[in-house]
């Protein structure tokens, strides 16, 4: 014999937690915090949980690349746990012990949602910081697994292990001819749209080709080591960590690259 539960809402009756299967609402709570409570006509509780979760996710995206981003992601995780615990409390009979319910919710959400999400963020939007100009970037670490950097793209590269990483724009790739005329840079006879800077300590005319497996990069800002403070650098393909696609700090300079 099935058991139904109804909750009074004004002049009508609405389904309560026991109307449908417990698994349905448990899955709903795991996906979207507050939705199960909303379906049970617990509108205020559902709105608080859903609003807090969505606001935390929005601020996570907006502040990603800083400690605030991690803080808001943790808040979204805690809100998710609170919603799941509330659903378990209303559905379970007999009621789970608090430690058991908390452990089950936290482990389930971490394994099913937040660990895969964190891994995806690490691969696709990994925060990195430059020791030279003090800027921060989000990099895609898997962008060049099946492709090579193209001219105009921003990359994150390492000059050496002890100097850390830097961001820079790809100016030329292997086989291309680069020329410094004394006033401007040219690649294969065409002027560069992004001027990396002049070379006051080099001859007025200078021409060279990019070696195989290398890139010509114009790094952003001065580097941490004066010995490699040139406006251009020839970098090996294996020194490129990933594609820099967002400049996230300083905060007022946040922009897509």
For 73-131, how does the pLDDT look when each residue is reduced to its tens digit (9 = 90+)? 999 999 998 888 888 777 765 566 667 777 777 888 888 889 999 899 999 999 998 76
Specify the fold of 128-256: Umud Fragment, subunit A (2.10.109)
Q: Which residue has the higher pLDDT, 177 or 160?
A: 177
* Helix segments in the chain, DSSP class H: 22-31, 35-39, 43-63, 67-91, 98-109, 115-124
Q: What is the CA radius of gyration of the chain?
A: 27
C-alpha 186/C-alpha 213 separation (Å) is 20
Mean pLDDT of 62-69: 89
Token duo for residue 152: 């105009």
- Least Cα distance to 145 among 242, 230, 72 occurs for 242
Percent residues over pLDDT 90 in the chain: 34
Cβ neighbourhood burial of 13 (10 Å; 0-12, 13-18, 19+):
exposed
pLDDT by residue (tens digit) across 135-158? 889 999 999 998 899 999 999 998
Taking the alpha carbons at both ends of the chain, their separation in whole angstroms is 62
From-to residues of CATH 2.10.109 in the chain: 128-256
pTM, rounded to two decimals: 0.77
Residue 112 DSSP label: I
């Amino acid at each position: 014999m099935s058991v139904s539960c109804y909750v009074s809402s004004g002049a009508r009756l609405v389904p309560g937690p026991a109307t449908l299967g417990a698994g349905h609402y448990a899955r709903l709570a795991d996906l979207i915090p507050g939705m199960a409570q909303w379906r049970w006509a617990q509108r205020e509780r559902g709105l608080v949980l859903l609003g807090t979760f969505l606001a935390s996710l929005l601020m996570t995206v907006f502040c990603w690349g800083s400690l605030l981003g991690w803080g808001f992601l943790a808040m979204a995780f805690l809100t998710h746990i609170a919603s799941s615990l509330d659903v378990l409390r209303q559905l379970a009979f007999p009621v789970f012990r608090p430690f058991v319910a908390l452990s089950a919710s936290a482990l389930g959400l971490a394994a099913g949602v937040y660990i895969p999400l964190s891994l995806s963020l690490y691969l696709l939007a990994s925060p990195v910081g430059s020791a030279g100009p003090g800027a921060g970037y989000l990099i895609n670490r898997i962008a060049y697994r099946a492709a090579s950097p193209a001219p105009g793209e921003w990359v994150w590269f390492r000059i050496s292990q002890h100097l850390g990483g830097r961001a820079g724009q790809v100016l030329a790739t292997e086989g291309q001819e680069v020329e410094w005329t004394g006033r401007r840079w040219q690649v294969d006879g065409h002027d560069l749209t992004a001027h990396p800077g002049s070379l006051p300590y080099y001859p007025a005319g200078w021409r060279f080709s990019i070696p195989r497996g290398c890139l010509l990069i114009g790094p952003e800002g001065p580097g941490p080591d004066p010995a490699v403070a040139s406006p251009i650098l020839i970098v090996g393909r294996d020194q490129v960590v990933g594609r820099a696609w967002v400049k996230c700090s300083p905060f007022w300079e946040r922009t897509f690259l």
